[in-house]
Amino acid sequence: MSSDSLIELKGVWKKYNYRETFHRSIREDIFNIFRRTRREELQDGEFWALSDVNLRLSGGECIGFYGPNGAGKSTILKLIASVTYPTMGEVIIRGVVAPLIELGAGFHLDLTGRENIYINGAIIGMTIREIREKIDSIIEFSELSDFIDMPIKKYSSGMHLRLGFSIAVYSSAEIFLFDEILTVGDEDFQLKCLERARWLRNNGRAIIIVSHDKKLLNEMSGTIYHINKGIVSTEDVKASGDTAHHNI
């Protein structure tokens, strides 16, 4: 595989246990770092959330995933975002990741929208200088200028999502992970979100989109993959100018 790829998944397997109330991610994942040379047998109550996934994605490319709930889509994003680690195989990330998975997860409800831009921006890797340079653009994009100095505990859920999305897409990350969040807000704001995602792709970012909306995936993605029970297969390759370099 080419070294210019921003994302590489090599023979990735991810195992979970039906009976675990809390996934013992730290203990198991550290242990599994040293145990990825052969396929393991499943123990009682265990299942494969992902099975032998191989993926490569370079800057300027966008791929989409769709499938039923619980199929493994979000697990792929969490592996790339280093929220969890593979049971077997290797995940290689070359660049900063902006995971638009749980928008606003780092917000402090008693602080204002403006103050939370600084906090959330720092959480996703932005410097204070970078935030200061971009804060006007973030506020303008969010369309929350009338409420930006109000404590966000008074925001609606849609306003939370708008602010979280706006912060993330103005970061300098090389890799963007969109999990069912390109339909934030009303129709006009959704179109603006899509345009920003296209701008990111056209300016060299690598993008992965997870969605149940096949129309959206066709509009944005060079290649679409179907995933079910942890098994990934090519569902549809667009006849477009996008060049896909994937092996799943």
Same domain, 138 and 154: yes
What 8-state DSSP symbol labels residue 152? G
What local confidence, expressed as pLDDT, does residue 125 receive? 84
What local confidence, expressed as pLDDT, does residue 240 receive? 40
Mean pLDDT for the chain overall: 84
Asked whether residue 1 is assigned to any structural domain, the reply reads: no
Mean pLDDT score, 66-90: 91
Asked whether residue 213 is assigned to any structural domain, the reply reads: no
148 closest CA partner among 116, 121, 114, 109: 114
- Rounded Cα gap, residues 18 and 194, in angstroms: 36
Same domain, 52 and 66: yes
Same domain, 172 and 199: yes
What local confidence, expressed as pLDDT, does residue 97 receive? 92
In degrees, to the nearest 5, what angle opens at C-alpha 5 toward C-alphas 79 and 125? 55
What local confidence, expressed as pLDDT, does residue 231 receive? 93
Residue 38 has pLDDT above 70, yes or no: no
Same domain, 77 and 169: no
Asked whether residue 104 is assigned to any structural domain, the reply reads: yes
Q: In which band, very low, low, confident or very high, does the pLDDT at 40 lie, cut at 50, 70 and 90?
A: low
Same domain, 118 and 77: no
What CATH number is attached to the domain comprising 131? 3.40.50.300
Residue 22 has pLDDT above 70, yes or no: no
Same domain, 78 and 131: no
CA dihedral (151, 153, 155, 161) positive or negative: positive
Residue 148 has pLDDT above 80, yes or no: yes
Same domain, 87 and 106: no
Q: In which band, very low, low, confident or very high, does the pLDDT at 51 lie, cut at 50, 70 and 90?
A: very high
Q: How many domains does the chain have?
A: 2
Same domain, 89 and 110: no
Same domain, 115 and 194: yes
Q: In which band, very low, low, confident or very high, does the pLDDT at 246 lie, cut at 50, 70 and 90?
A: very low
What 8-state DSSP symbol labels residue 6? S
Asked whether residue 245 is assigned to any structural domain, the reply reads: no
Same domain, 40 and 76: yes
Residue 242 has pLDDT above 50, yes or no: no
pLDDT digits (tens, 9 = 90+) for 182-198: 766 678 888 888 899 99
Asked whether residue 214 is assigned to any structural domain, the reply reads: no
Asked whether residue 36 is assigned to any structural domain, the reply reads: yes
CB 14 within 8 Å of CB 230: yes
Same domain, 42 and 140: no
Residue 179 has pLDDT above 90, yes or no: no
- Rounded Cα gap, residues 246 and 167, in angstroms: 29
Asked whether residue 65 is assigned to any structural domain, the reply reads: yes
- Rounded Cα gap, residues 201 and 96, in angstroms: 15
Domain that holds residue 11: 7-95+219-237
CA dihedral (146, 152, 154, 156) positive or negative: positive
Asked whether residue 158 is assigned to any structural domain, the reply reads: yes
67 closest CA partner among 179, 175, 183: 179
Residue 112 has pLDDT above 90, yes or no: yes
Same domain, 183 and 138: yes
